[in-house]
Structure 1
């Protein structure tokens, strides 16, 4: 599953850390990506305890690294059908290419994984900031 959540950037949007903080505080961030959907009272984000997710656990990553991680996930069980690959190129990689800044959570260790978080065998999250489109996108590629 690839999940894309798009939020508008504020007119006076700040630096990446400030935008990450706003994203983490947004209701749409409260999703366990295991079928529960967005729940405002949830204490989990993907496989992680929400209280442990903070802007400082994210690092800036290149388009190339993002592409390697995502293509590895997409093709983990072999090549995907041409039609699906075209959709992924447009909907996912088109947004990666348009982003002026990409962040990836790298500072969350095993202690941040919640009680049933290991249901996610593969969980990849990227935050794409596209100032020209006035959009921040939370991109999650996960399987449980």
Structure 2
């Protein structure tokens, strides 16, 4: 079956590329933003989540392997374990809180990083309706080396006004 989402582009923000006040601050954190164009026909949220899960851009282990069209891993999870039901709706306020707490957990991020995060992450959160958050899937869903991320936050942002669905992953490794 042909996937109805079209990959538009990616943005990768690596915290190591920014200078922190405290050189001891863990900088093995990053945000990966994948944008896909919504299909012309109107689909419900569950259908859009299923299309996203079925898209090759979803097959990314986020551990250096990149997107593998036939990949069997998604972040710390087996792809087969991720279903539309695994995503819970989340409001803007809670989404923003989760990401800001994660980003600033050791110290406030540098100004230039904060600017990039605002543009690529927080502005997208603000314009999305709805926002979905990937729930913890349990130990049986974690793939053979899925414990490499100390934190893994995944959001799906649906912006019908702009015709985009965004897969936003923020993690530590």
The TM-score normalised by the length of structure 2 is 0.81
How far apart in 2 are the matches of 1:26 and 1:113? 20
Which of these residues, 126, 129, 136, is aligned with residue 158 of structure 2? 129
SS at match of 1:38: coil
Matches within 5 A, 1:1-144: 1-106=30-135, 108-144=137-173
| CA distance in structure 2 between the aligned counterparts of 1:90 and 1:112, rounded to whole angstroms | 33
Local SS of the residue matching 2:96 = helix
- Secondary structure of 1:78's partner? coil
Q: For structure 1, list consecutive stretches of 5 or more residues without a partner in the other structure.
A: none
Secondary structure of the 2:116 match is helix
Cα distance, 1:75 vs structure 2: 0.6
Runs of 5+ unmatched residues, structure 2: 1-29
How many Å separate the matches in 1 of 2:148 and 2:112?
29
Larger Rg: 2
Report the secondary structure of 2:88's partner residue: strand
> Cα RMSD (Å) of the superposition?
0.9
Q: How many residues align?
A: 144
State the TM-score, normalizing by the size of structure 1.
0.97
Paired residue secondary structure (1:84): helix
**Further displaced range: 101-110 or 51-60:** 101-110
The structure where helix makes up a greater share of residues is 1
Q: Return the alpha-carbon distance in structure 1 between the equivalents of residues 44 and 145 of structure 2.
A: 33
Deviation for aligned residue 1:13:
2.6
Greater RCO (Cα-Cα under 8 Å, separation 6 or more): 1
